[in-house]
Structure 1
Amino acid sequence: MRLLAFTLLLGSAWAFADDRPLRFSVVDSWAMPLAHIEDGKLTGGILFELFSETARQVHRAPAFHLLPRARVEQALLSHVVDVRCYVAPSWTEHEFHDYRWSVPLMVQRDLLVSRAGLKGELQSLTGESIGTVLGYHYPRLQPLLDNGRLTRDEARNQELVLKKLQIGRYRYAISSEIALNWFNRSLPKGERLTPASTIEETPLACMVLDSPEVPADEILKALATLKADGTIERILSHYR
């Protein structure tokens, strides 16, 4: 992973030092395979590869701004970051008229996950504590929380949510499919966590600041090309 990170950074357009870096937002609660964060810095993972390749395509060096999830939207409103990725319009509280949306780049498939092969639909559960990531909004879960049928048991990131499920803190958790597969990759078959049901599938994209200092058209074109030519699929395949 360190070699890959070093190679990608060398491949970034350091020769274009006259242009300021392209600033990407990084949520400090992201975990692998989305992001490897070490000593407060993004050093690997799916989004590290995507950000680095996007910056290379537009001849900018990437700069990674590590932020708590609750501060990401304020950073956008203040134009502290140029690009926010792995996001859907339904996940944002503001419309952000100064930002433009890319084409959908990947799909997040959210699952209800269980131990020991338990099955069940989220809407059919009652009296359960559901493992969730602190600060994440779950549209399908919220009505069940509001009427008191279910409660949340939160952890700081997706990996910790799954670890708590593994040791039996609760019987069900919500996880993306890619995070579940990453978590299970080194576990014996009989100990792996399993999908109880699919909750929803959400197309995810990037938001790009439309500003004289940011080549928004080039960035959006680069992202569309990375999707169309299979680069994003190849990045995802590294973590399956």
Structure 2
Amino acid sequence: MNYLIILSILLINFSASATVINFGYGVHNSSPYILTDKESNATGGLLYELAEFVGKEMGVGFKMINTPRTRLEDLVRSGTIDIYCNSNRNWIDGAEDFYWYSGIFVDENLLYTFSEDLRKIKDLQDIKVKVGTINGFSYHPRIEKLLKRVGRNELKSHEKLLRFLELDRGEIIYGSKKIIESQYIGKTRKIYPVTDFRDRLKYDCIISKKIKFNKDKLFKALEKYKLRK
């Protein structure tokens, strides 16, 4: 009898946990990928929109889980987070430990400045000042070579990078076109690309192999979202 009671409780808990799909995000994602309130709770943005869409398509609820970037892969691997859609399998050690959905978003990284003089630079070799980057990120080999030569100022997020630039603590930063240019729509102060270098990239969804949902159904929902754009 006790065995049956325990089994029933486990089945109820399993069923309940499978009614909500857990999407990872972090403040490092920045707008337009994620919008947050003062407590860093997700309130909108592309990742939120995606989670809402997928939940509706699959007939389940969704939950946005704020997670430090350094812990995301571990939490997806353990099944605490079901899916995180701002990654790339080429960036992850042990990529075979996960399911992957490729190219849910596309973007590109480039160098930016407020300086009228620095915007005229055409070649990476002509950059002589430190570059602001996000702490812990690895970049295109040509950018890594530049950073090794001139040095880097590491900050925690794109917002911190832009604040760093606005306060004239640095002259050039490197980051996402979607994120950086979205911050200056309609603003008087203009931000400019430096050189013609572009590192075009795609963001993939990294998905736990411990998900309690039908993988094919999840992939179909992701594909439907991707095709509607």
Structure (1 or 2) with the larger CA radius of gyration: 2
Partner of residue 237, structure 1? none
Partner of residue 89, structure 1? 89
Matched residue of 1:213: which SS? coil
Matches of 2:101 and 2:176, distance apart in 1: 21
* TM-score normalised to structure 2 length: 0.82
Matches of 1:113 and 1:87, distance apart in 2: 23
Cα contact 1:210–1:216 (8 A) shared by 2: no
Moved more, 77-86 or 17-26: 17-26
Gap regions ≥5 residues in structure 2: 1-14
Partner of residue 137, structure 2? 136
Give the Å deviation of 1:121: 5.5
Matches of 1:122 and 1:41, distance apart in 2: 41
1:41-52 equivalence runs, <5 A:
41-52=41-52
Cα contact 1:209–1:216 (8 A) shared by 2: no
Matches of 2:211 and 2:205, distance apart in 1: 18
Give the Å deviation of 1:157: 1.2
1:1-240 equivalence runs, <5 A:
19-38=18-37, 39-97=39-97, 99-117=98-116, 118-120=119-121, 123-140=124-141, 141-145=143-147, 148-188=148-188, 191-196=189-194, 197-211=196-210, 213-228=212-227, 230=228, 233=229
Cα contact 2:77–2:208 (8 A) shared by 1: no
In structure 2, the CA distance between the partners of 1:27 and 1:125, relative to structure 1 (3 Å rule), is farther
1:126-185 Cα offsets, whole Å, 9 max, x none, are: 54211112232223332334xx41212122210221222133221211121111221111
Moved more, 123-132 or 27-36: 123-132
In structure 2, the CA distance between the partners of 1:122 and 1:94, relative to structure 1 (3 Å rule), is farther
1:98-147 Cα offsets, whole Å, 9 max, x none, are: x22113222111111111341336741454211112232223332334xx
Give the Å deviation of 1:18: 7.6
Matches of 1:59 and 1:71, distance apart in 2: 28
In structure 2, the CA distance between the partners of 1:212 and 1:201, relative to structure 1 (3 Å rule), is closer
